[in-house]
Amino acid sequence: MSLDKRFDDIRPYTNDEIPAAMKRLASEPLLDKVFSWLFPGQPVQDWRNKLRSVKSNLELQERIMHPAAESIIGQTMSGFSFSGENNLQKGTGTLYISNHRDIILDATLLLLILYRKGFPTAEVSFGSNLMQSQSIVDVGKSNKMYKVFRKSGNMRDLVKNSRLLSDYIRYRINGGTSIWIAQHEGRSKDGNDLTDPGLLNMLSMSMKKDLVGALASLNIVPVAVSYEIEPCDVLKVCETQKTMEQGFYNKAPGEDLVSIVTGITQNKGRVHITVCPAVTITDIEPYRDLPQADFFHQVAKLVNERVYQGYRLYGINYAACDRLRGTTEFMEHYSEEDITLLDSREKLLPDSDDQTSTALRDLLRRLYANPVLNRMNMTL
């Protein structure tokens, strides 16, 4: 079996496969609502025709996806900014490891930045749990997304899928293609951006005999995405509260879709992306002689620190931190408008008994406060 064939189940569509996918997509009834929201006042049929004319993933991104991202920015953000251009690496495959706050936009916004700056866009991880219809698969795989299997209870399948993904990522990066992957399976629900050491373990599986070389050769560049307002903040804290109360949380059918739509369409205030300094072999080498678990823990901590320093802190973050801790330590960093903004998010929490209401409020404040606490290396 050729190397390419090994990856047929997880790789994005090739350009040969895209015209058929575009033809299927163009007949999707839901596009009326999608295009009407993204491009108000423009005939939906024109966008369907654009889809039918797409012959490659580059054309899809240039004609549809990047304009859609620009529309989302214009309709739902009061500002969109970027820093760290000097950390972008041209002419080489890069592994962007990003904090994960929104199902779709974290990667979408980085791809737009890369496009604006004249860099090839990266392939993007796409959870197998999200592949709920042919239309979603067609959108994702035509848009340079590769499949990541969500963890299951079957250890044999987990190891097999992890090794396949590790081989794929190394294969693509060695070939000069960049990759985006979230630092942790699933979004951060509490504003605490933590890199899973298991992710780094997976990445090293394709070159297990030299852990330092395995990670250094992937050209890891951390990315910090900062939302002034998290549009899914209430959904996240309600999920967290139920998990704490019950010990588990089972998603309702269609819940991921609700989060996707909420994340795209609702107000996000200001949004900033920081491309952080790369994690180099010089950074990793001091951990070479550590036991394997400690090695991955230390590298994960290093990635976390880059993300914490790159995260753009807003007034709402400092206000939430003071409220959560009952102090006025960060008063100089926020205004009455920031306090009003935090109040407006708290008012969106569902009505509950006093104990639950207090728990939800504190969880919401923690979601906004944790980036400050992480930057300052503080704990409650």
Percent of the chain with pLDDT over 70: 98
Q: What is the predicted pLDDT for the residue at 284?
A: 98
Q: Are 305 and 336 within one domain?
A: no
Q: What is the predicted pLDDT for the residue at 154?
A: 82
Q: Are 165 and 290 within one domain?
A: yes
Q: Are 342 and 296 within one domain?
A: no
The reply to whether 207 falls in a domain is: yes
DSSP assignment of 50-98, as one string? Answer: HHHH--SHHHHIIIIIHHHHHHHHHHHEEEEEEE-GGG--TTS--EEEE
Q: What value does the mean pLDDT take over residues 287-303?
A: 97
Q: What is the predicted pLDDT for the residue at 351?
A: 93
CATH number of the domain residue 281 falls in:
3.40.1130.10
Q: Are 117 and 164 within one domain?
A: yes
- Tens digits of residue pLDDT in 299-321: 999 999 999 999 999 999 999 99
Q: What is the predicted pLDDT for the residue at 129?
A: 86
The reply to whether 264 falls in a domain is: yes
Q: What value does the mean pLDDT take over residues 39-66?
A: 97
Query: For the chain, how many structural domains are there in total?
Result: 2
The vertex-140 CA angle with 121 and 221, nearest 5°, equals 35
Q: Are 361 and 259 within one domain?
A: no
Residue 98, phi then psi, degrees to nearest 5:
-115, 145
Q: What is the predicted pLDDT for the residue at 181?
A: 98
- With a cut of 90, say whether residue 201 has pLDDT above it: yes
The reply to whether 201 falls in a domain is: yes
Q: What is the predicted pLDDT for the residue at 110?
A: 98
Q: What is the predicted pLDDT for the residue at 142?
A: 97
Q: Which of 283, 312, 341 is the last residue of a domain?
A: 312
- Show the domain range for 215: 3-12+81-232+248-312
- Tens digits of residue pLDDT in 223-255: 999 999 999 999 999 999 999 988 888 888 889
Q: Are 294 and 347 within one domain?
A: no
Q: What is the predicted pLDDT for the residue at 254?
A: 86
Q: What value does the mean pLDDT take over residues 47-51?
A: 97
Q: What value does the mean pLDDT take over residues 4-17?
A: 93
The reply to whether 335 falls in a domain is: yes
More confident residue, 372 or 128: 372
The region, left, alpha or beta by phi > 0 then psi within -120 to 50, assigned to residue 71 is alpha
Q: What value does the mean pLDDT take over residues 327-337?
A: 97
1 pLDDT band, cuts 50/70/90, is very low
Q: Average pLDDT over the chain, rounded to whole?
A: 95
Q: What is the predicted pLDDT for the residue at 2?
A: 45
Of 243, 227, 209, 222, nearest to 308 (Cα)? 222
The reply to whether 47 falls in a domain is: no
- With a cut of 80, say whether residue 378 has pLDDT above it: no
The reply to whether 155 falls in a domain is: yes
- With a cut of 80, say whether residue 259 has pLDDT above it: yes
3 pLDDT band, cuts 50/70/90, is low
pTM score of the predicted model: 0.96
The reply to whether 64 falls in a domain is: no
- With a cut of 70, say whether residue 379 has pLDDT above it: no
Q: Are 171 and 306 within one domain?
A: yes
Q: Are 356 and 270 within one domain?
A: no
Q: Are 204 and 308 within one domain?
A: yes
- With a cut of 50, say whether residue 81 has pLDDT above it: yes
The reply to whether 28 falls in a domain is: no
- With a cut of 90, say whether residue 63 has pLDDT above it: yes
In the sheet where 123-127 sits, what is the strand order?
Answer: 77-83, 269-275, 220-227, 95-98, 179-182, 123-127, 145-148
